[in-house]
Amino acid sequence: MRAMRVVPLVLAVFALAGCGGSELTGSVVDSDVAALAPASALAVIALETDPESEQWQQAERLLERFPGRQRLLDELRSGLSKEGVDAEQDLLPALGDRTYVVFLDVETDENVVVLTRPRDPQKLQELVREADDPAVTREVEGWTLIAETDAALDRFAAGGDRLADADWFADAQGRVEDDALVTFLVNGAAIGEAAASSLSSDCEPPEWQLDYAAGTVSAEEHGLRFAFASEGEGGESADGESLLSRVPSGALLFLGFPGFGGLGVTDQLRCTTDEQGLPDGERFLGVSYEQLGDLFAGGFALSVSPSALVPEATLLLAPEDEAAAVATLDRLAERAVASGLGQLRPRTVDGIAVKELEAGPVTVLYGGADGRVAITTTVRGLQALTGELDSLSDDDRFRAALDAAGVDDGEDVVLYLDLQQLVQLADGLAGLAEEDVPADVEANLEPLRSFLVWADLDDPDDVEAGAFLELR
């Protein structure tokens, strides 16, 4: 899909002007736009393009924390000037306070229509006229519509139900706040139809159906907030457990999920592989996709922690059948040995029978205890099986990140990055390689503190999730 020139220009204005869990409530798409756009549209993106708005001002304050801000802005201005465009004199006047991007489908190249109420209509016409790629405009009820061809505008205006009449749109509108830099609303039925049309006739579509998805990106005093909500039907709860309490304190990375039950991805993967003529992954690995899925079915937690030289990496699993999971790992390890990738030997660590796979400079230990299985690069990582380590859930830095993001206790943390520690780790690894991190890069990484992603997964048909990038 080719993107029209105006879309990247709008995004550039965001950078030039600033930057470029609570439940979401409110309304964001102008009623006139909802009355114009077709109900069958794939997605609608609303962009805040008023430089006087609180969101743009807050984004500007965030960007000021980075020493490289001015250099970034100069490079963006230089790039626009090569296109013959000045953001303040040309682009901003050509847009209104809010600009909308409507995606009609995924099947054609000419599927994007932009709507705005330009502050200076003549500036907009000059941009369109001087663009390298052809574009056309049309005035409809006070809005200027921009697309690559008249055919796209005709499709946009074709008869039929409008967004204002669509149930999915009304429901999605009720899940987003008005005060955001970027808001997106996605038509679940259109996504499902597009996905189903891409499958072979021999492949069964997933049972879960999406009604809509919605989300926002907004600037706050201490960082950027991302909010997401979706609704569908036919989903199954992940009957697993959160393993966060087993992750060691001091971890600088955590990625976890309380199970993948009901996702039904194995048949999809096998069918797609066969349809695309890809290599048989099951034969190559020596285990079935179902056996791989069973490893993660009850939940997983991947963590990375600082260590003397190389960081410690540990994957903790909560399979329904510990013995079957270890047997699957045995087959994977034996296949690696047969391929000449290492040596496998049994060990006993703190009374736990484990296997050690030595592959050159990397050693991997794995084993099971108390219904859980651990795969780790250090002996210490095996203590996650017994819960003897201090937990990340009680770690002061982790708790501070939770407080900054406003995460409630009932929400599952899916991803945690201690960005400050990661920067220090990168600096240390560069030192081992006898290289220095450039001073300007180091200075621009300094404001980064943490990144969190969390979700309320109690109802698989009604999911709310959020993310927060914390800045100092």
Round the average pLDDT of the chain to a whole number and report it. Answer: 85
Residues 135 and 100 in one domain: yes
SS3 164: helix
d(CA 116, CA 100): 6
Structural domain boundaries enclosing 467: 395-471
Length of the chain: 472
pLDDT for residue 274 = 64
Q: Between the ranges 170-179, 204-213, 424-433, where is the mean pLDDT highest?
A: 170-179
Domain final residue, candidates 233, 256, 273: 233
Q: Which whole number is the average pLDDT over 276-297?
A: 82
Within a domain: residue 172? yes
Within a domain: residue 54? yes
What CATH code is carried by the domain that includes residue 328? 3.40.1000
Domain final residue, candidates 187, 213, 233: 233
Residues 167 and 87 in one domain: yes
Residues 254 and 331 in one domain: yes
Within a domain: residue 239? no
Within a domain: residue 423? yes
pLDDT for residue 200 = 64
Please give the model's pTM, rounded to 2 decimal places: 0.87
Statement: residue 16 has pLDDT above 60 = no
pLDDT for residue 2 = 38
Residues 277 and 338 in one domain: yes
Residue with structure tokens 């991803």? 415
Within a domain: residue 51? yes
d(CA 291, CA 329): 10
188-212 pLDDT, tens digit each: 999 888 877 766 666 776 677 899 9
Task: Check if the beta carbon of residue 385 is closer than 8 Å to that of residue 349.
Answer: no
Residues 427 and 463 in one domain: yes
Domains of the chain: total = 3
Within a domain: residue 1? no
Q: Which whole number is the average pLDDT over 91-101?
A: 90
Residues 309 and 451 in one domain: no
Residues 383 and 404 in one domain: no
Q: Pick 339 or 102 by higher pLDDT.
A: 102
d(CA 188, CA 202): 23
SS3 409: coil
Residues 210 and 300 in one domain: no
Residues 282 and 311 in one domain: yes
Residues 91 and 68 in one domain: yes
| Percent of the chain at pLDDT exceeding 70 | 87
Among residues 85, 63, 65, 67, the alpha carbon closest in space to that of 76 is found at 85
Within a domain: residue 339? yes
Residues 287 and 187 in one domain: no
Pick from 133-147, 277-291, 329-343: least confident:
277-291
Within a domain: residue 292? yes
d(CA 58, CA 51): 10
Q: Which whole number is the average pLDDT over 450-470?
A: 92
Residues 229 and 264 in one domain: no
Task: Check if the beta carbon of residue 415 is closer than 8 Å to that of residue 452.
Answer: yes
Domain final residue, candidates 360, 392, 424: 392
